[in-house]
Amino acid sequence: MSVTPLKALPLDELRQRTSTKWRKYGEDVLPFFVAETDYALAPEITRVLTRAVQLGDTGYTPPDPGVREAFAGFAERRWGWNVDPADVFWTGDVMMGVVEILRKVIEPGDRVVVMPPVYPPFYDTVEEAGGVVERVPLTASEAGWEIDLLGVETALLSGARAVLLCNPHNPTGTVHTPESLAALADVAERFGATVISDEIHGPLTYAPTAFTPFLAASDSARRVGYAVTSASKTFNLAGLKCAVMVAGGDPQRAKLRSLPWEVEWRTGLFGALSNVAAYSPESDEWLASLLAALDANRLLLAELLAEHLPQARYLPPDAGFLAWVDLSAYGWGDNPAVKVLRDARVALHHGPLFGVEGTGHVRINFGCAPELLREAVERIGALARS
């Protein structure tokens, strides 16, 4: 059955938004840096939030907002992952969840594996929890990126106590294979280490690739792991503060239950309401339309780069709406986003913030109208021809 791609909102309407994407720069700049998308909310989310505003339902988040059951239902429908609702806890956002779990599983000064190039807050989160970043870069090839299992094993052998996994990976869009995830879990279990998997981009995986939640990869993954995720990236809800933390088993569940009470209280009521609505079957059709739009854009971007920036290197992601593009061939310095913003008035995310592996790279958000994406690449391409 064909799916009609979701249409982005008009630019003049988007510029009325007050979020970071539309307020950091002036109106002469096209914003492609932060991970916000340009679509109207899913109708079920709009309905729930509108009703809450009408009721003045703007108080404290209740002890059971329905998040655990909603997430478990979503996980079963989309991935065949059978989540016990009792293993699901909630907090304000994914990075809050990650740092609180880290505080439970490491001691100050312990090393934590991260896999650059990776979402910049991973580095800050490790430090906030009292840990020390242990870099084990992804292995890159013409076919994509993979976890360096030998590198992880070496880090754990030398004393690292935890692994931060990004699955699907930001910024590369890599969806790690079930075999790779199971192998990572085996390595972690052998050394008594914990794996915390950020899975916020999981719902945005493109067919025929299949997303495997870390905790569904193997028995050993359930014994060593936690997952932390949210509807916020898929449904553009970052300002509404809600994420879920999922325990792999009884020991992890006990640790999550022992978190300070304010970890749960950081969840916003609108965040909980909107996450429940996003995870409901009523939002599945909207998500299918969003994926159709994003799938078309990731392929359009490849065409635009080939036409206007033929020396750029880009592998369309398997998930998400973020493109990892190597512009180093153009000689625009270690951080090409600086020149692109100054001379083309297009704001891209700075590659070096993702690690030294991001030198010469930019990250481009293609969750927008195709014509806006075309204008941005044309502007950047003009720099290459000047």
Report how far residue 234's alpha carbon sits from residue 201's, in angstroms, rounded to the nearest whole number: 7
- pLDDT given for residue 259 in this prediction: 97
Q: Distance between alpha carbon 372 and the CA centroid of its chain, in Å? A: 22
Spatial contact of 224 and 73, defined as CB atoms under 8 Å apart: no
- Residue 105 placed within a domain: yes
Confidence grade of residue 146 (pLDDT, cut at 50, 70, 90): very high
171 and 265 housed in the same domain: yes
Mean pLDDT within 134-143: 92
- Residue 335 placed within a domain: yes
Query: At residue 294, does pLDDT exceed 70?
Result: yes
Domain end position, chosen among 263, 282, 301: 282
State the SS3 of the chain. Answer: CCCCCCCCCCHHHHCCCCCHHHHCCCCCCEEECCCCCCCCCCHHHHHHHHHHHHHCCCCCCCCCCCHHHHHHHHHHHHHCCCCCHHHEEEECCHHHHHHHHHHHHCCCCCEEEECCCCCCHHHHHHHHCCCEEEECCCEEECCEEECCHHHHHHHHHCCCCEEEEECCCCCCCCCCCHHHHHHHHHHHHHCCCEEEEECCCHHHECCCCCCCCHHHCCHHHHHHEEEEECCHHHHCCHHHCCEEEEECCHHHHHHHHCCCHHHHHCCCHHHHHHHHHHHCHHHHHHHHHHHHHHHHHHHHHHHHHHHHCCCCEECCCCECCEEEEECHHHCCCCCHHHHHHHHHCEEEEEHHHHCHHHCCEEEEECCCCHHHHHHHHHHHHHHHHC
Spatial contact of 92 and 148, defined as CB atoms under 8 Å apart: no
pTM listed for this prediction: 0.97
Report how far residue 248's alpha carbon sits from residue 224's, in angstroms, rounded to the nearest whole number: 7
- Residue 94 placed within a domain: yes
- pLDDT given for residue 253 in this prediction: 98
**Domain ranges, residue 349:** 11-39+284-385
Domain end position, chosen among 215, 248, 282: 282
345 and 242 housed in the same domain: no
272-289 tens-digit pLDDT = 999 999 999 999 999 999
46-89 tens-digit pLDDT = 999 999 999 999 999 999 999 999 999 999 999 999 999 999 99
Percent of the chain at pLDDT above 90?
Answer: 98
171 and 236 housed in the same domain: yes
- Residue 164 placed within a domain: yes
Domain end position, chosen among 282, 303, 320: 282
127 and 264 housed in the same domain: yes
360 and 343 housed in the same domain: yes
Query: At residue 141, does pLDDT exceed 90?
Result: no
Average pLDDT, the chain: 97
- Residue 254 placed within a domain: yes
78 and 206 housed in the same domain: yes
Closest CA to 97 of 286, 250, 232, 187: 232
294 and 148 housed in the same domain: no
What is the number of structural domains in the chain?
2
- Residue 6 placed within a domain: no
The CATH code of the domain that includes 338 is 3.90.1150.10
- Residue 1 placed within a domain: no
Six token digits for residue 305: 């780069």
67 and 211 housed in the same domain: yes
Mean pLDDT within 139-165: 96
Q: From the CB of residue 346, how many other CB atoms can be counted at a distance below 10 Å? A: 23
166-206 tens-digit pLDDT = 999 999 999 999 999 999 999 999 999 999 999 999 999 99
- pLDDT given for residue 142 in this prediction: 81
22 and 126 housed in the same domain: no
Spatial contact of 113 and 102, defined as CB atoms under 8 Å apart: no
Confidence grade of residue 352 (pLDDT, cut at 50, 70, 90): very high
111 and 126 housed in the same domain: yes
The CATH code of the domain that includes 200 is 3.40.640.10
Confidence grade of residue 143 (pLDDT, cut at 50, 70, 90): confident
Query: At residue 1, does pLDDT exceed 70?
Result: no
154 and 214 housed in the same domain: yes
176 and 243 housed in the same domain: yes
- Residue 381 placed within a domain: yes
